[in-house]
Amino acid sequence: MVSAAHSDHSMDIWGPRRTTSLKEARTHTALVHILRLLFTIGAVLSAGVLVGTVINSSLAAPPVAGPTSGLSVTVLSPRFEGFDAHDRPYSLTAETARRRRENVSLIDLVSPRLEDAASTIVQAREGVWNAETEVLELVGDVVMTDAAGYTFTSQRTRMYVKDNRVEGQTPLNGVGPIGEVRADQYEVTDDGRRIVLKGNVWTKFTPKRTRRETTGDPAR
């Protein structure tokens, strides 16, 4: 009886401990699974970060050096507007415009056309517009007309649009109501009121009576 009682007492003592050990084992097993899961996730994330870094490095690799004279995307029917030194508006249009990559202030134009508030129109085959300095370089079949009926032609003209000043280093031919003029070089200043001709200057004035007959004005 004593032995049985002692045995039962031993069972009472070790029973709870066995239960506690099972709980600890299960907890330990769960912890191991969690740690393994976290390790696996960490390894995957580390691999992803490594791959992403390699991809980003590839994309961020410096471009192969090329010529700096490339041009940007072509813009159709561009229009530039501004004001001169006297706050008079002007507009510059063209068939196409392409901004230069090496200098974004320079824009190459095809068939540019400049018109100001005084109805002066300047056209050319090609041109380069400096948007920062508002200087227009015209090349090829440059034609300048004004409201008074004068037409001047040249092959190369530089227009300081902001200052209403024009310079030409190639021969100029002009014709208008009072006659014709030719020169190797020219400069127009004072808002067109002053024209300086240089080199082999030739002029031909039309008599007043002839001008009346040409225009149909009655004699006075």
Q: Do 125 and 32 fall within a single domain?
A: no
The least confident of 5-9, 70-74, 116-120, 165-169 is 5-9
DSSP state of 201: -
Q: Do 93 and 31 fall within a single domain?
A: no
DSSP annotation string for 67-100:
-TT-EEEEEES-EEEEE-TTS-EEEEE-SEEEEE
Helix, strand, coil distribution of the chain in percent, nearest 5 = 35, 40, 30
Residue at token pair 């200057």? 201
Q: What residues make up the domain containing 48?
A: 1-52
Q: Do 78 and 185 fall within a single domain?
A: yes
Q: Cα–Cα distance between 108 and 99 in angstroms, integer?
A: 6
pLDDT score recorded for residue 34: 52
Q: Do 150 and 90 fall within a single domain?
A: yes
CA Rg, the chain, in Å?
Answer: 43
Closest CA to 195 of 152, 137, 140: 152
Closest CA to 126 of 114, 103, 142, 149: 142
CATH code: domain of residue 206: 2.60.450.10
22 located within any domain: yes
140-187: pLDDT as tens digits: 999 999 888 899 999 999 999 988 889 998 999 999 998 999 999 999
Closest CA to 201 of 185, 186, 182: 182
pLDDT score recorded for residue 218: 55
92 located within any domain: yes
Burial readout 120-144 (b: 16 or more C-beta within 10 A, e: otherwise):
bebbbebbbbeeeebbbbbbeebbb
Strands (E), the chain: 71-76, 79-83, 89-93, 96-100, 106-110, 113-116, 121-123, 126-130, 135-145, 151-160, 165-168, 172-176, 179-183, 185-189, 194-198, 202-205
Q: Do 110 and 183 fall within a single domain?
A: yes
Q: Quick one: tokens of 121?
A: 């129109």
Give every CB contact of residue 12 below 8 A, 6+ residues apart in sequence: none
Give the count of domains, the chain. Answer: 2
Q: Do 109 and 176 fall within a single domain?
A: yes
pLDDT score recorded for residue 184: 94
Listed ranges 4-18, 41-55, 66-80; the one with the highest mean pLDDT: 66-80
70-91: pLDDT as tens digits: 446 889 999 999 998 889 999 9
Q: Do 30 and 97 fall within a single domain?
A: no
Q: Do 152 and 91 fall within a single domain?
A: yes
58 located within any domain: no
Q: Do 190 and 93 fall within a single domain?
A: yes
Q: Do 123 and 196 fall within a single domain?
A: yes
Q: Do 196 and 113 fall within a single domain?
A: yes
Q: Residues of the chain with pLDDT > 70: what percent?
A: 61
62 located within any domain: no
Q: Do 47 and 128 fall within a single domain?
A: no
Examine the pLDDT at 137 and tell me if it is beyond 90.
Answer: yes
